[in-house]
């Protein structure tokens, strides 16, 4: 039986560093898309709270486009990701996906989907 304690081997340390690098690469690839989606959700909710009942879908889309550009979201256009309707009050259905290159021929596909309506936005 050994009397001294052994530490981690070089291979164990190398595997730990590789695992950390892999997890960091996933976070760097995915985080900006989730952050942009969070900003888009907040801007839709804020604009719904501020808008009147006479807001048209075209006006809502143009104001959202300006808000997204002000928040430095330039690669996503609001008309491409959402549809606005005014049947039972103002409502927005947002659905889109983003493909991010990850490693070699592996892509990450992120799907974002959420529905908003003016009545629930005003109650928050």
Query: Which residue range(s) make up the domain with 97?
Result: 32-123
Q: What is the pLDDT of residue 117?
A: 87
**In-domain check, residue 41:** yes
Whether 4 is in a domain gets the answer: no
**Reduced 3-state DSSP string for 5-56:** CCCCCHHHHHHHHHHHHHHHHHHHHHHHHHHHHHHHHHHHHHHHHHCCCCCC
35-75 pLDDT, tens digit per residue, is 999 999 999 999 988 887 778 889 999 999 999 999 998 88
Q: How far is CA 10 from CA 5, 16, 91, 123, in A?
A: 16, 10, 58, 58
User: Does 114 score more than 70 pLDDT?
Assistant: yes
Decide if 17 is inside a domain.
Answer: no
Quick one: pLDDT at residue 70?
94
Range picked from 1-15, 24-38, 53-67 for highest mean pLDDT: 24-38
Residue 65 DSSP SS3:
helix
**Is the residue at 7 inside a domain?**
no
Does residue 1 carry a pLDDT above 70? Answer: no
Residue 89 lies in a domain: yes
83 within some domain: yes
Whether residue 8 is contained in a domain is answered as no
Predicted pLDDT of residue 2: 64
In a domain, residue 97? The reply is yes
- Contact (CB, 8 A) for 43 and 68: yes
Full-model pTM: 0.81
pLDDT per residue as tens digits for the range 77-109: 999 999 998 887 888 999 999 999 888 999 999
Number of compact structural domains in the chain: 1
Structure tokens at 8: 């981690």
Predicted local distance difference test score (pLDDT) of residue 107: 92
């Amino acid at each position: 039986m050994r009397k001294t304690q052994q530490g981690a081997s070089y291979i164990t340390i190398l595997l730990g560093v590789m695992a950390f690098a892999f997890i960091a690469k996933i976070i760097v690839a995915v985080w900006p898309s989730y952050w942009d989606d969070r900003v888009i959700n907040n801007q839709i909710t804020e604009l719904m709270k501020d808008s009147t009942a006479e807001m048209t879908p075209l006006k809502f889309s143009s104001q959202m486009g300006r808000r997204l550009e002000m928040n430095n979201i330039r690669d996503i256009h609001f008309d491409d990701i959402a549809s606005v309707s005014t049947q039972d009050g103002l409502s927005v259905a947002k659905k889109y996906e983003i493909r991010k290159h990850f490693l070699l021929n592996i892509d990450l596909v992120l799907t974002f989907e959420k529905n908003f309506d003016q009545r629930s936005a005003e109650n928050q």
